[in-house]
């Protein structure tokens, strides 16, 4: 939630980009509405956020009664299970939003851990920043989307509070926080994620995306896939969160949805950033960035690196073409503890997702099949060889040159 214009055509947007750190990813980085008119270039024209600008409804458009009452398999929607809370209940749950209960902050507002008084359930409570320039619309889309959705790889919305100006969302608590926390060192005493956990997380996130694309009715384009929106429980079971930017996919024989370019710099598909034409393949590109982030441990945009390495995808493209260089893409924090064949296969999936041409990117179902397989191929450093740069170059049986073609 609370992302910003992801087009790189707008320098001001790029400057205020969070560069994928949660600290920077706070209120300053909120989405700036851009033109929703597909005829104009979204990178150059901006106008006020106006839902009517879009020729396609948000995933749970407040005006779309049909959407409100549909569930993925035409059963009763999950909506009945979403509770409403009074503000007082959430004040009690968080001990008046005590600093010690603070979990993090994004574009929507602050997130606190809380305990519901009536059930003792531990929850995460996200409070809309009342000074923010947007959020109400995201709040509504989030509540309605998650009311219609139910899947083990989507975070569960327990309820919400809409009292006077207050807007709060109450979620199941995810004890391991976000994938971004794990990959980019924001957790104290964190242990680097091992290869098996990374593949498990990738497969789980892909299954969540598959649910949105292939099982929800109407199908949903997520638009905000990134590491900070992948939450983890203790077993590294991944759940997607933050659906405030989600959109209903193209209907009828349409191939895309024309919309404002929103998302996060570094994750946004170039075709979507340039044209404002949103497709399911825009999400696949973002997924490719996440997978590459999982493999390399690098941020999508990192201005602390030399210029040629600041953009993760730009850095990776030439390496994808030469298998002899694949080892360079493995996160050094893995300390060589990864399967060479698994690395090759994971990079091949990432490269396919990151194809410049959207129609060359795979469907999410194929990504799920491939990653489910990879996640079952457990790597054990006590049994399998630990890689080192010279080993990867000289001894790998798959390391025969060639590459994967993005």
Cβ within 8 Å of residue 116, ≥6 positions away: 89, 93, 123, 158, 170
In the complex, which residue's CB is closest to ligand ATP? 106
**DSSP-derived secondary structure letter, 305:** S
First and final CA of the chain: distance in angstroms?
A: 29
Residue 184 makes contact with ligand ATP by CB under 6 A: no
Of the candidate residues 10, 150, 181, 271, the single one contacting ligand ATP (CB under 6 A): 181
Choose the one of ligand ATP, Mg ion, none that binds residue 173, judging by a C-beta under 5 to 8 angstroms depending on kind.
ligand ATP
Residue 229 makes contact with ligand ATP by CB under 6 A: yes
Of the candidate residues 42, 72, 104, 406, the single one contacting ligand ATP (CB under 6 A): 104
CB atoms near residue 22 (< 10 Å)? 18
Burial class (CB in 10 A: 0-12, 13-18, 19+), 384: middle
Record the tokens describing residue 284, joined without a space: 């696949």
DSSP string, 135-182: -HHHHHHHHHHHHH---TTBPPEEEEEEETTEEEEEEE--TT-BHHHH
Alpha-helical regions (H) of 41-155: 65-68, 87-93, 136-148
Residue 231 makes contact with ligand ATP by CB under 6 A: yes
Residue 228 or residue 345: which is nearer to ligand ATP going by CB?
Answer: 228
Q: Which range touches ligand ATP (CB under 6 A), out of 33-41, 55-63, 98-106, 337-345?
A: 98-106
- How many residues touch ligand ATP (CB under 6 A)? 26
Residues 110-169 within binding reach of ligand ATP (CB under 6 A): 111, 124, 126, 155
Choose the one of Mg ion, ligand ATP, none that binds residue 111, judging by a C-beta under 5 to 8 angstroms depending on kind.
ligand ATP
DSSP string, 29-75: GPPPP----TTS-TTT------GGG-SS-BTT-TT-HHHHT--TTSS
Residue 242 makes contact with Mg ion by CB under 5 A: yes
Residue 299 makes contact with ligand ATP by CB under 6 A: no
- Which residue in the list 129, 224, 242, 331 is annotated as catalytic? 224
399 is catalytic: no
Shortest distance, CB of residue 106 to Mg ion, whole angstroms?
A: 5
CB 248 within 8 A of CB 217: no
Residue 229 makes contact with Mg ion by CB under 5 A: yes
Residue 259 makes contact with ligand ATP by CB under 6 A: no
Q: Closest Cα to residue 229, out of 257, 200, 194, 264?
A: 264
Alpha-helical regions (H) of 246-279: 270-275
Residue 173 makes contact with ligand ATP by CB under 6 A: yes
Q: Any idea which residues carry the catalytic annotation? A: 224
| Contacting residues toward Mg ion, per CB under 5 A | 106, 229, 242
| Contacting residues toward ligand ATP, per CB under 6 A | 1-3, 22, 25, 103-108, 111, 124, 126, 155, 171, 173-174, 177-178, 181, 228-229, 231, 241-242
């Amino acid at each position: 939630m609370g992302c910003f214009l992801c087009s790189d055509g707008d320098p001001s947007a790029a400057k205020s980009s969070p560069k994928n750190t949660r600290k920077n990813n706070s209120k300053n980085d909120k989405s700036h509405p851009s033109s929703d008119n597909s005829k104009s270039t979204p990178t150059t024209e901006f106008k006020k956020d106006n839902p009517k600008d879009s020729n396609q409804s948000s995933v749970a458009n407040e005006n779309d009664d049909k959407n409100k009452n549909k569930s993925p398999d035409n059963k009763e929607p999950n909506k009945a299970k979403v509770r409403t809370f009074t503000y007082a209940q959430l004040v009690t749950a968080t001990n008046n939003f005590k600093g010690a209960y603070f979990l993090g902050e994004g574009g929507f507002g602050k997130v606190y851990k809380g305990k519901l008084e009536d059930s003792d359930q531990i929850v995460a409570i996200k409070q809309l920043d009342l000074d923010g320039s947007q959020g109400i619309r995201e709040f509504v889309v989030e509540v309605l989307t998650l009311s219609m959705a139910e899947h083990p790889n989507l975070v569960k919305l327990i309820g919400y509070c809409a009292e006077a100006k207050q807007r709060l969302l109450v979620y199941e608590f995810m004890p391991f926080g976000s994938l971004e926390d794990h990959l980019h060192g924001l957790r104290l005493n964190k242990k680097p994620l091992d290869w098996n956990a990374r593949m498990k997380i990738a497969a789980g996130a892909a299954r969540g995306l598959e649910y949105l694309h292939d099982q929800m009715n109407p199908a949903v384009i997520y638009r905000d896939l990134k590491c900070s929106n992948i939450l983890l429980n203790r077993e590294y079971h991944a759940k997607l969160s933050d659906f405030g930017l989600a959109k209903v996919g193209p209907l009828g024989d349409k191939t895309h949805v024309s919309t404002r370019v929103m998302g996060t710099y570094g994750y946004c598909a170039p075709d979507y950033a340039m044209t404002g034409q949103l497709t399911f393949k825009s999400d696949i590109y973002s997924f490719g960035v996440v997978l590459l982030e999982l493999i390399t441990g690098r941020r999508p945009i990192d201005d602390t690196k030399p210029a040629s390495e600041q953009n993760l995808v730009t850095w990776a493209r030439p390496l994808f073409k030469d298998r002899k260089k694949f080892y360079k893409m493995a996160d050094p924090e893995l300390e060589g503890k990864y399967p060479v064949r698994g690395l090759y296969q994971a990079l091949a999936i990432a490269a396919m997702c990151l194809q410049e041409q959207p129609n060359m990117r795979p469907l999410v179902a194929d990504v799920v099949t491939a990653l489910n397989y990879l996640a079952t191929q457990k790597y054990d450093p006590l049994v399998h060889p630990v890689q080192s740069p010279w080993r990867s170059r000289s001894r790998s049986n798959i390391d025969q040159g060639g590459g994967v073609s993005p």
